[in-house]
Amino acid sequence: MFERAEARVDLERIAENVKYLKEIAGVPVMAVVKADAYGHGLVPVARAAIEAGASSLGVALLEEALTLREAGINVPILAWLVPPGSDFKAAVDNDIELAASSIIALEQIGAVTSNKRPRVHLEVDTGMTRGGFLSEWGQLDAHHVSNIDIVGIFSHFARADEPGEKQNEDQRIRFQEMVATLESFGYTNILRHLSNSAATLKDLDSRFDLVRSGIAIYGLSPDVHTLGTSAALGLKPAMQLRAKLHLVKTVPAHTPVGYGATAHTQSETKLGIVAMGYADGIPRVAQGAGVFVNGAKAPIIGRVSMDQFVVELGIDSTAKSGDWVIVFGDGVTGEYTADDWGAASGSINYEIVTRIGSRVNRIYAPHVY
């Protein structure tokens, strides 16, 4: 067992978050497990979410969906970033539902030779101006969908984490108009889904037949500034990231630290070298975060390196080489959080958890905190 750094994931907390979201949504929950379940581990998280009541799983990539099937997971899976030219036959043969946002995608999916019919969710652009039908929407006709089953229609909010924004209402109205167009063609028994985590938590009018929850099932706030913290939203962060102090040493005042000598100690102090770096997902630009050790915060000093970063422990610290330190947790005992690290690197908690590299062991244990 390599003991350098580990991401400890509490699957019980993920299950609790799924149950909570299902309760407040009042409709089925699609657990979004793309990007290795936001860094928490694709297959273990998927299983925990299903056991907690998630009705389906959402992924970005076809390979993510195939990995879930290979693991024996049999619930509906939607893959929504499968571009033209992909192996649509593998998706159809494995009962993977596909998003289509262009006529060429529909034509290629419909051309698949299989003993199963393709199951497709039409993605429509209601204002995100990213994926989804827009100008081609009016060109759709019966022959484009003659060999497939349309089972859903969906879109994605651009500003659901800003509940007062008019664009949310505009997108919901546009979505309803596009749904009505599809229903006029006879597709009335299909899943309508628009809500992401933020809308699941705050937008009753946008829940429709299904909600897609990603960041919230991991216990993290979609936006701490506009929606509040995890605790305020009733969510429980599921990951604790920790690492070992490779070295602790005392240095004099005015000692330069790290590449470029961008920081200097102000007085005699103890420094701790943490055995993680940007190769493990620690943002190189992070300033203002750090680690939690012996009941106190120790901030980063100097630049983050590829495999390590330095924290200032203080002259009175009793930390020693080989000690575990918490890089981030749920914040209850005073440690830094994924939100803190996001702010310290000019980013968001999503990026902090999803960028944790494969060199970091994932440990699945109840009661991480």
350 given a catalytic annotation: no
Distances (CA, A) of 275 to 6, 8, 147, 298, 307: 11, 16, 54, 15, 6
Sequence-separated (6 or more) residues with CB below 8 Å from residue 141: none
pLDDT at res. 206: 97
pLDDT at res. 12: 97
Of residues 22, 34, 202, 236, which has the active-site annotation? 34
Per-residue pLDDT of the chain (369 residues; tens, 9 = 90+): 678 999 999 999 999 999 999 999 999 999 999 999 999 999 999 999 999 999 999 999 999 999 999 999 999 999 999 999 999 999 999 999 999 999 999 999 999 999 999 999 999 999 999 999 999 999 998 888 889 999 999 999 999 999 999 999 999 999 999 999 999 989 999 999 999 999 999 999 999 999 999 999 999 999 999 999 999 999 999 999 999 999 999 999 999 999 999 999 999 999 999 999 999 999 999 999 999 999 999 999 999 999 999 999 999 999 999 999 999 999 999 999 999 999 999 999 999 999 999 999 999 988 776
Sequence-separated (6 or more) residues with CB below 8 Å from residue 37: 44, 45, 46, 218
pLDDT at res. 332: 96
Q: Which residue has the tokens 């597709």?
A: 187
| Whole-number CA gyration radius for the chain | 23
259 given a catalytic annotation: yes
Sequence-separated (6 or more) residues with CB below 8 Å from residue 166: none
pLDDT at res. 142: 83
pLDDT at res. 366: 80
Of residues 116, 249, 259, 320, which has the active-site annotation? 259
Q: What is the pTM of this model?
A: 0.96
pLDDT at res. 4: 95
Domains in the chain, please, with CATH? 11-219 (3.20.20.10), 239-364 (2.40.37.10)
Distances (CA, A) of 225 to 78, 88, 100, 144, 221: 31, 41, 34, 44, 9
Classified as helix, coil or strand, 246 is: strand
pLDDT at res. 369: 67
pLDDT digits (tens, 9 = 90+) for 125-140: 999 999 999 999 999 9
Angle at alpha carbon of residue 35, lines to 31 and 37, rounded to 5°? 40
Sequence-separated (6 or more) residues with CB below 8 Å from residue 164: none
Q: DSSP readout, 55-117? A: -EEEESSHHHHHHHHHTT--S-EEE----TTS-HHHHHHTTEEEEE-SHHHHHHHHT---SS-
Classified as helix, coil or strand, 175 is: helix
